[in-house]
Chains A and B, each alone.
Chain A
Amino acid sequence: MAIEIASAKAGPSRDSNPGDPAYLKVRDLVYRSSGIYHAEEKLYLLISRCARRMTALGVTRPADYLEHLTVRPNCTAEMRLLLNEITIGETYMFRHPTQLEALRNVILPQILQVKGLISLKRLRFWCAGCSTGEEPLTLAMFLLEEKDKLLAGWTWDILATDLNDNSLEIARAGVYGEYALRNTSEALRKKYFREVGNQKLQAGDLLKSQVRFDRVNLSDDNKMLFQKGIDVIFCCNVLIYFDLASKRRVVQHFYSNLLPGGYLFLGHAESLFQVNDAFHLVHFVGATGYWKPPSGYVVGGKTGGDKK
């Protein structure tokens, strides 16, 4: 009952029109501050996210909520809270095992060979849009497992960033349930996690120490320029929220953030077609990645393509 009363008092009122021009203004504001664009057919998603914030604030009219985002003194904070609602994502560890295989079999051997020559035995990874931390922790486990094999004598750091404060908070706590761990083997669970009751596991200190979490807005050019010397960037299912112009800008940043010979991984269904043609699409078994060729690389210079 209490809930019903609450919903009668706050949240968008029943007669609030989904085509309300206020929502279109909210959409533009969201776009300007984050690059995330809700096209006409995705507008319902934005409206449902706004609804949660409106309920929390006790606001019923979209126009009033727009006020909270523009003229009220706490408008910057409110935008941040709305972005937190918009960028919630559910994922699990070892979601893309073929990317890790490509890393182990092709990419890391390539990078180690080049970097080994200049005796710079350190690798930098960046999970851009890390959500609640499943992806960087997967990468951390993978790298720790290779520590005495492929990566003997090497060190690394993993930067994991997201726009969503709530996600980052969960990531820092590192407590996960069965859904997040469904692809994680018993051996890895035992090795890198501890039980915290309620059928949940928490990442242990060793695992946590591998990853540095930080809030980065991919549309913030100043912060993006700051990330340099990265070997591999993971940005899975993040750019799908961006429109073409913002996508281009973000991907151009990724390109300059990467070292020559570095790789960018996107989500399974994402393509850089017409977004960026400096990256080379590389096919691995069961996965594709985008490669930044070293200077002097000649397209079509190789023959045969698959000769070892």
Chain B
Amino acid sequence: MNAKLLAQLQAQIKQLDSISAAPAIMMPLLEMLRLPSEKIRVEKVVELVSYDGAIAAQCLRLANSPLFGMRYIETVRSAVMALGLERVRSILFGLCMNRVIPKDKWVISSDAFWRHSLGCALVTQRMAKNIGYPEPEKAYLAGLLHDLGFLVNSILYTEDFRECLRRAVEQHVPLHVTEEQVLGFTHCNTGQLLSEHWGLSKEFVDAARCHHDLSLLPAAGPLACLVHLGDLLCRVRYLGYGYDEILGVDLGGDVAWRTLVATYPALEHFDLARFTLDIDGAMEQIVATVDSVFGVNSAAAPASS
């Protein structure tokens, strides 16, 4: 991407604040995302979650879903106690993120976007736990945020982005391939810019920017690698963008995997097939959870899911 296009995009992303349908708690929530976990205050999280009745209800439904351990949680405060501050913060952010796009501007279906983001968050976090990455909650958030660029593309470039999706569905290729053809940039570029605009830390920015092409980073950090693999695993297990991609991925030979193996030597003895099988069960739960939290009519769900 050349400097001129970059400057243009940066200017346009600033307009996003006025166009988007972001809930009122978005800005204070973003501020909280920038805090290290030990500085987050329970009172603040409870206040933010409770601010919007609909969001609070969805948050509780998610907290009670089997994905998060199927407890009986009645209040926001007990959700924080049961799931931890960081997880509730991430859940809340996910809920707000989904509201950023005004209803008439969704290009990928909002269910597909939610399933993919939530799926990637959970898979990335599980993998992080499995390999002994010290901050699995961070991995969850990075997985949740990796496709922020879709928000930008849907809101600012709605019609062109529709064309990207049309071509991708027709050719069964990943969206970033057709974005490059039609827009001249990808959701990775706009995702990077939006997360910078929102002041997210560099690791999240990198994960958003490089999750389709790690060679962009001189030395890919473990978080970007985990998100890259989480994204791929979701897409080969029907949690992609809501259409059939043609994919054949050698995960063990993937540069992200090799990078992780270099950092965590125990990974050399990791049963990827077993891990895939384990997350297969989680995938079904993710679909069921997203459907129940957002009241998706299963008949309208994409055929592949």
> Measuring CB to CB, which residues of chain A are less than 8 angstroms from any residue of chain B?
102, 105-107, 110, 268-274, 280-286, 288, 291, 293, 297, 299-308
Contact = CB atoms under 8 A, between A and B. Distances in A.
Nearest to A106: B248
Contacts of B177: 307-308
B228 A305 contact: yes
A300 B174 contact: no
A105 B172 CA distance: 10
A305 B227 CA distance: 13
B250 A281 contact: yes
Nearest to A107: B248
A248 to B, nearest CB: 15
Contacts of A297: 253
A288 B252 CA distance: 12
B237 interface: yes
Contacts of B274: 271, 273
Contacts of B252: 280-281, 299
A291 B273 CA distance: 13
A282 B271 contact: no
A271 B251 contact: no
Contacts of A308: 173-174, 177
Contact of B253 (A270, A271, A280, A288): A280
A206 B198 CA distance: 64
A54 B191 CA distance: 69
With most chain B CB atoms within 10 A of its CB, the pick from A102, A280, A304 is: A304
B258 A106 contact: no
Contact residue range for chain B? 35 or more
B236 A299 contact: no
A187 to B, nearest CB: 19
A150 B172 CA distance: 17
Contacts of B249: 282-284, 305-306
B214 A282 contact: no
Contacts of A301: 253
B276 interface: yes
A117 B212 CA distance: 31
B246 interface: yes
Nearest to A268: B277
B298 interface: no
Contacts of A293: 253
Nearest to B238: A286
Given A302-B253, A307-B212, A308-B173, A273 B248 contact: no
Given A283-B251, A300-B254, A305-B214, 6 more contacts: A273-B273, A281-B272, A282-B249, A283-B233, A283-B250, A285-B246
A106 B272 CA distance: 20
Contact of B273 (A272, A284, A302): A272
A306 B247 contact: yes
Interface in B221-262: 228, 232-233, 235-238, 244-259
B236 A285 contact: yes
B272 A299 contact: no
A281 B248 contact: no
B233 to A, nearest CB: 7
Contacts of A302: 253-255
A210 B150 CA distance: 48
Nearest to B271: A273
Nearest to B270: A273
B201 to A, nearest CB: 23
A247 to B, nearest CB: 14
B12 interface: no
A274 B250 CA distance: 18
Contact of B250 (A268, A285, A291, A303): A291
A265 B139 CA distance: 32
A156 to B, nearest CB: 20
Given A271-B273, A273-B274, A306-B174, A281 B251 contact: yes
With most chain B CB atoms within 10 A of its CB, the pick from A102, A285, A301, A307 is: A285
A285 B247 contact: yes
Nearest to A307: B213
A306 B257 CA distance: 13
Contact of B236 (A107, A272, A286): A286
B123 to A, nearest CB: 12
